[in-house]
Structures are given as C-alpha cells and as structure tokens.
Amino acid sequence: DIQMTQSPSSLSASVGDRVTITCRASQSISIYLNWYQQKPGKAPKLLIYAASSLQSGVPSRFSGSGSGTDFTLTISSLQPEDFATYYCQQSYSLLFTFGPGTKVDIK
C-alpha cells in the first residue's frame, strides 16, 4: 500500500504569509495527487487535483506542484479563511490514501 506523509504536522502563520506544505508518497505516484482543505466541523473541500490543477472556484492564491514522490501545496498570501487543516491524497492506487494532515493556525 502507498503511504502518505505530510510536513509539518502543524504550523502557525500570520495573514499575508506565504505558506508551504509538503506531502511525500512512499512510492512514485506520478502526478496523481490531490489536496483538500477542511475546517472544523465541516466536510473537506477539494482544492487541487492532478498535483497542480486548481479546482473550479478555488482562489488562485492556492497552488500545487510536484511529481513522483514529493509534492507541495502553497498558499501565496494567507487569508483569515485559510486557517484550516490540509490533507493530501493519492489517486495512483485503488486505495485512495490520505496524508495525516497539516493544521494551519493563527500566529
């Protein structure tokens, strides 16, 4: 099975900061990588699919990059509504494993 890891597990940042979250797969998954945002008490929201494709309606301050085993989610200028937990997910295998999550909170 493909294992997903994320770093850091949490971070504190200020509004306007540039934030980068890393996701690593235990084997090469090409670009079959999605990113989700989840706010407390809410369902997750798809932000990025296929490693770098922005889901419709998602602000352009969110971007994704990477291929193979290493991926990043970048928020170019953190907004108040971006404080949340972010998960990566691989869609390379039929078991759609999620990463453990990265919690972004207010500094």
Partner 1 sequence: EVQLVESGGGLVQPGRSLRLSCAASGFIFDDHAMHWVRQAPGKGLEWVTGIGWNGAGADYADSVKGRFTISRDNAKHSIYLQMNSLRVEDTAFYYCAKDIRPSIAAAGFNGFDSWGRGTLVTVSS
Q: Which residues bind partner 1 (CB under 8 A)?
A: 1, 30, 32, 34, 36, 38, 43-46, 49-50, 55, 87, 89, 91-101
Report the nearest approach of partner 1 to the CB of residue 6 (Å).
9
Kindly give, in sequence order, each residue whose CB lies less than 8 Å from that of residue 98, ignoring residues fewer than 6 positions away: 4, 36, 87, 88, 89
Cβ closest to partner 1, residue 30 vs residue 74 = 30
CA distances from 98 to 29, 31, 34, 57, 62 (A): 13, 15, 9, 22, 19
Cβ closest to partner 1, residue 5 vs residue 77 = 5
Report the nearest approach of partner 1 to the CB of residue 33 (Å).
10
SS3 14: coil
